[in-house]
Structure 1
Amino acid sequence: MNTSAHLDTFARDHLPPPEQWPELRFALPELHYPERLNCADALLTGPPDGRPAFRTPTGDLWTYGDLRARVDRLAHLLTRDLGVVPGNRVLLRGPTTPWLAACWLAVLKAGAVAVTVLAQQRPHELATIGEIAQVRHALCDIRSVDDLAKAEIPGLVLATYGGDAPDDLLNRPAPEEPYQAVDTAADDVALIAFTSGTTGRPKGCMHVHRDVLAIADTFSRHVLKPTADDVFAGSPPLGFTFGLGGLVVFPLRAGAGALLLEQAHPKQLLPAIAEHRVSVLFTAPTAYRAMLAELDGHDVSSLRRCVSAGENLPAATWHAWHERTGLRIINGIGATELLHIFISAADDDARPGTTGVPVPGWQARVQDAEGRELPAGEPGLLAVRGPIGCRYLADPRQREYVRGGWNITGDTYVRDEDGYFRYVARADDMIISAGYNIAGPEVEDALLRHPDVVEAAVVGRPDEDRGQVVVAHVVLAEGAAQDTEALRAHVKSELAPYKCPREIVFLDALPRTATGKLQRFRLRTDG
């Protein structure tokens, strides 16, 4: 490892021991980065000042000159007013706006570690993330500050932006001169992205500065192939690495522009595509299915690239979208642990019903539980390796995800004779609904915090529109009323709304083995 620029060494100190790391491979010339690298500085360097960078549906337009100046101003405030030093973890929260993106870039340029969370997450979830990452600073959109304040993260220095107060981050006086990017090492931790595991306790995935550029220099460069004239847009928030790559990293690396939408449901996406001449779209299969029903009367002729990830893309959806638009959806699988997409295919190489082939710079195989590679046609665990690998923040589950130098994604796949990978199922209890990863036990924990709930078990049920929906099986205290809406309201007060059960089934007892182990398979079969 290179000499770190971090004065606060928490992130590096809590990396997994080297023997638990996956094998990192830098198989392309463009992946050989210099030892000293600040990815925010690299992303902001190059495009002319007048080229459009970010725009919003309300007509705001930031050029690259605007973006550079605002990022530098924020970085000065971070270090001068808030006392942020290299290596500090800075939590970022708010809707998808140019200011949130600028805050993310400023945190990295100042050598700190960005921890971007979802605007939907509730105080209990935010408190857990704050505890795991030892967050002491936060930049928050004024509209998203209430739940963060209620999280009561110890010692948190909280600064808001977008408000009228004199101490609002955007109203404070700041130096106008350029900010000299901190001379971070290429392997200094740049961000911690949180993902939920099947135990319900989120895992912090640590990614270094070179990782941020590597996702652009593999999937984006070789599969997506953007140009400086492209306009990117999509539905995933910046708290998801799918959105961070597709809406910030990829367009900036290409010198292109991005339309950042606070509301990006299909009914908002379609008119935005027409009005802003969006050419590259990132969203989940659920949204493509929903947009098919709304296409009439909307002009999508500007689109040239449509990327799908977050859940499996059914062949029927691919064909229906192609028939209506003439566009071949670029399917892909990524993981928070690996930052972005590592298997995909585009244009004539796309095969509906398959995810694709390993992205240049990546390797993939299907193996059994003992780590033996399986022949074509035989289902097994998907294993991948490349320039980025899983490095959990002080989490024993590192040993489960990384085995024999390979990253084991938790997906069951089949590889065909031509080397194409086809998704079969999740290999764990994760529920994937409309592109969101939902850990059943986390929802169970929220239900169990209701005084009337004695036991709870949550599983996914197949759903044509959303892939899966969350179904909760609940045992109530004696005499308690079977009030579905009260339980749903309780979960929504504890967790992000997308984790709320679509259906609640009341049972006298949960199915268990003789030793007391919950039989989830019976709930999936019966419910």
Structure 2
Amino acid sequence: MHRTAHLDTFARDHLPPRDQWPELVFDLPELQFPERMNCSQDLLDRWVAEGQGGRTAVIGDDGGDGRGGGIRWTYAELQAQANRIANVLVSELGVVPGNRVLLRGANTPQMAACWFAVMKVGAIAVATMPLLRAKELGQVIEKARVSHALCDAALAGELATARAQFPVLERVCLFRSDAADGLEALAERQSTSFENVDTASDDCALIAFTSGTTGQPKGTMHFHRDVLAICRCWPVHCLRARSDDVFIGSPPLAFTFGLGGLLLFPLSVGATAVLLEKASPDALLPAIEKHRATVCFTAPTSYRAMVAAITAGATSGAASTGADSGKAHDLSSLRKCVSAGEALPAATRQLWKDTTGLEMIDGIGATEMLHIFVSHTEETARPGATGKPVPGYRARVVDDEGRDVPQGSVGKLAVLGPTGCRYLADDRQLKYVKHGWNLTGDAYLIDADGYFVYQARTDDMIISGGYNIAGPEVESALLAHPGVAECAVVGVPDEERGQVVKAFVVLKPNAIDATGATRAAGEAALIKEIQDFVKATIAPYKYPRAIEFRASLPRTETGKLQRFRLREQ
């Protein structure tokens, strides 16, 4: 490892032993990194240095609640704000290189400036989801030994409760605050110049905590070179974005899918990022139209919900300014739509394409890997398949001993690349990294054309009557039924078969026709109809023997389906 710039060496001291790291490969010429680098230089400062500081970098949209929307910063203005905040961190808050700085806020330009300020001072960003409560924040603070925090004033309450229990958090500064000691007031007095700390390429830049799991959260440690590595692999070879693109989407910046898709990737090519505080499907649609967005990042569930809203708008005859008459919103500016965060059902892909004419780019990533490592382009998209390894990465499907399984057989996805899993002081490192490869916890098969086809999370495979059944495959069949809005499939215990397939279904409005019968009779008839539909769509043994209708399904803040909660129930 290179000479660290960190005066606080907590992160380096708590990396896994070197022999527990995955093998790292830097196959592409653009992945040959120097020993010294600070990622903010390449992503932000260089545009100003090259005379392109007048380009629009970030746009804020608060959804109309008046809390700071309408901000439109150029690259020079974003740099100036990040530099001011960097000066605050050092001169007012006493941050030294290697300190962990918790970031708590919605997707806003100020949140982006805070992230770059932390990079500039050589500290480590620990971004947290806005909806986390005090107990969850406390786990993060304790695990990462967080000493400083920059927090949106609107989210200060839970952090204050956590701070009272964990005094390791010494300093908290609130932003989007009118207080005299708020970040804006402190920053206003600071210089717009700042000399970035000369960090090593393998100095830790961020600790990202995994989402959607039970028990103690896992902190994943990523270096300055990792931040640039993900910008030089998937975006270049699969997304192929341009400097005139306008990025928009729903994932929080605290989620690595959102950090990459809505900040790192657009800035890496000199493009514009629209940061939405409210990014529900009904807010995303008008925002795409308003900002003439060209690249959208969101989860499959959100794409389905947007289709439903578009269809409802067309049915009601809502006015349109776009090429498609009757549609509620003009999406004609869109040219790229990216799906990640959870498996993309083939039915959702087709539904979006039928509605908008756009082929989605699917990909699988992991917090442990920082971003997407298996994907495709629009031209190479194939329904039901995730794609092939992104240039810069290698992938295999292996058995429990790490041996390649035969083509078409289901096994465990194993990945190598320039990024990899390094858990913060966590014995679970030994489970994720085996034989030098990252085992992502996903079950895959490779088809005859070399495409990686997702089956399930390895702990979501259902074994019923001797058959291996992938829950997502059943979900994809269910979603093709005209009455199904959302669904989740899990295995439940059964004396005869070991497990049986159970589906939890959210119906579209008026899906149950109870005319002339009780609602119970209508539900029973619809259950049989759905079961018969699935039998006719995929192998009959995979059909859900039990179906329960729900008003909603449990999801994380990032949109991931929490099947474990359904299994527990």
Inter-CA distance 37–353: structure 2 relative to 1 (3 Å threshold): same
Higher alpha-carbon deviation: 110-119 or 145-154: 145-154
Contact 2:106 2:277 in 1 (8 A): yes
Q: Is 1:242 matched with 2:257? A: yes
Q: Is 1:224 matched with 2:239? A: yes
Q: Structure 2 residue aligned with 1:208, among 196, 205, 223?
A: 223
Q: Is 1:188 matched with 2:219? A: no
Question: C-alpha separation between the residues in 1 aligned to 2:10 and 2:60?
Answer: 36
Contact 2:299 2:559 in 1 (8 A): no
| Superposition pairs of residues 76-475 of structure 1, within 5 angstroms | 76-152=87-163, 153-156=166-169, 157-172=171-186, 173-196=188-211, 199-295=214-310, 296-428=327-459, 462-463=503-504
Aligned-pair CA distance for 1:396: 0.3
The aligned amino acid for 1:322 is K
Aligned-pair CA distance for 1:428: 2.5
Contact 1:289 1:465 in 2 (8 A): no
Higher alpha-carbon deviation: 56-65 or 410-419: 56-65
The aligned amino acid for 2:168 is G
Give the SS at the match of 1:237: coil
Question: C-alpha separation between the residues in 2 aligned to 1:373 and 1:462?
Answer: 32
Aligned-pair CA distance for 1:297: 1.5
Question: C-alpha separation between the residues in 2 aligned to 1:8 and 1:81?
Answer: 18
- 1:443 aligns with none
Contact 2:341 2:560 in 1 (8 A): no
Question: C-alpha separation between the residues in 2 aligned to 1:128 and 1:331?
Answer: 32
Give the SS at the match of 2:80: helix
Aligned-pair CA distance for 1:155: 3.4
Question: C-alpha separation between the residues in 1 aligned to 2:291 and 2:192?
Answer: 32
Higher alpha-carbon deviation: 265-274 or 52-61: 52-61
Instruction: Figure out how many residues of one structure are paired with residues of the other and give that number.
Output: 461
The aligned amino acid for 2:127 is T
Aligned-pair CA distance for 1:314: 0.7
The aligned amino acid for 2:23 is E
Give the SS at the match of 1:143: helix
Q: C-alpha offsets along residues 79-137 of structure 1, whole Å, 9 cap, x if unaligned?
A: 00000000000000011100011101100110000000001000000000000000010
Q: Is 1:72 matched with 2:83? A: yes
Contact 2:341 2:558 in 1 (8 A): no
Contact 2:71 2:109 in 1 (8 A): no
Q: C-alpha offsets along residues 311-337 of structure 1, whole Å, 9 cap, x if unaligned?
A: 110111111111221111000000000
Aligned-pair CA distance for 1:46: 3.0
Give the SS at the match of 2:260: helix
Give the SS at the match of 2:397: strand
- 2:497 aligns with none
Contact 1:198 1:428 in 2 (8 A): no
Larger Rg: 2
Q: C-alpha offsets along residues 194-246 of structure 1, whole Å, 9 cap, x if unaligned?
A: 01585521000000000001111000111101111000010000110000000
The aligned amino acid for 2:59 is R
Q: Is 1:55 matched with 2:86? A: no
- 1:485 aligns with none
Aligned-pair CA distance for 1:274: 0.7
Contact 2:212 2:560 in 1 (8 A): no
Give the SS at the match of 2:218: strand
Q: C-alpha offsets along residues 173-205 of structure 1, whole Å, 9 cap, x if unaligned?
A: 433241000000000000000015855210000
The aligned amino acid for 2:230 is I
Q: Which ranges in structure 1 are unaligned for 5 or more consecutive residues?
A: 441-459, 467-487, 506-519
Aligned-pair CA distance for 1:364: 0.4
Q: C-alpha offsets along residues 130-158 of structure 1, whole Å, 9 cap, x if unaligned?
A: 00000010000001110011112313210
Question: C-alpha separation between the residues in 1 aligned to 2:11 and 2:212?
Answer: 20
Contact 1:46 1:255 in 2 (8 A): no
Give the SS at the match of 1:336: coil
- 2:35 aligns with 35
Inter-CA distance 286–199: structure 2 relative to 1 (3 Å threshold): closer
- 1:510 aligns with none
Give the SS at the match of 1:159: strand
Give the SS at the match of 1:293: helix
Inter-CA distance 185–69: structure 2 relative to 1 (3 Å threshold): same
Contact 1:53 1:257 in 2 (8 A): yes
Question: C-alpha separation between the residues in 2 aligned to 1:287 and 1:398?
Answer: 32
Give the SS at the match of 1:193: strand
Aligned-pair CA distance for 1:502: 11
Question: C-alpha separation between the residues in 1 aligned to 2:436 and 2:144?
Answer: 25
Q: C-alpha offsets along residues 4-39 of structure 1, whole Å, 9 cap, x if unaligned?
A: 000000000000001000000001000011110100
Contact 1:206 1:391 in 2 (8 A): yes
Question: C-alpha separation between the residues in 2 aligned to 1:82 and 1:36?
Answer: 26
Q: Which ranges in structure 2 are unaligned for 5 or more consecutive residues?
A: 62-68, 311-326, 462-470, 476-487, 491-500, 508-551
The aligned amino acid for 2:193 is P
Question: C-alpha separation between the residues in 2 aligned to 1:463 and 1:34?
Answer: 51
Aligned alpha-carbon RMSD (Å): 2.8
The aligned amino acid for 2:33 is Y
Give the SS at the match of 1:310: coil
The aligned amino acid for 2:75 is Y
Which segments of structure 1 move beyond 3 Å, counting only runs of 4 or more? 196-199, 429-433, 460-466, 495-505
The aligned amino acid for 1:209 is H
Give the SS at the match of 2:349: helix
Give the SS at the match of 1:96: coil
The aligned amino acid for 1:127 is G
Q: C-alpha offsets along residues 432-466 of structure 1, whole Å, 9 cap, x if unaligned?
A: 99xxxx9x9xxxxxxxxxxxxxxxxxxx9755669
Question: C-alpha separation between the residues in 1 aligned to 2:24 and 2:100?
Answer: 25
Contact 2:243 2:269 in 1 (8 A): yes
Aligned-pair CA distance for 1:352: 1.3
Inter-CA distance 244–288: structure 2 relative to 1 (3 Å threshold): same
Give the SS at the match of 2:12: helix
Contact 1:198 1:429 in 2 (8 A): no
Contact 1:286 1:465 in 2 (8 A): no
The aligned amino acid for 2:7 is L
Inter-CA distance 62–497: structure 2 relative to 1 (3 Å threshold): closer
Inter-CA distance 55–224: structure 2 relative to 1 (3 Å threshold): same
The aligned amino acid for 1:415 is I
- 1:25 aligns with 25
Inter-CA distance 292–233: structure 2 relative to 1 (3 Å threshold): same
The aligned amino acid for 2:89 is L
Aligned-pair CA distance for 1:76: 0.4
Contact 2:443 2:458 in 1 (8 A): yes
Contact 1:328 1:346 in 2 (8 A): no
Question: C-alpha separation between the residues in 1 aligned to 2:273 and 2:406?
Answer: 42
- 1:480 aligns with none
Question: C-alpha separation between the residues in 2 aligned to 1:391 and 1:185?
Answer: 17
Contact 1:120 1:497 in 2 (8 A): no
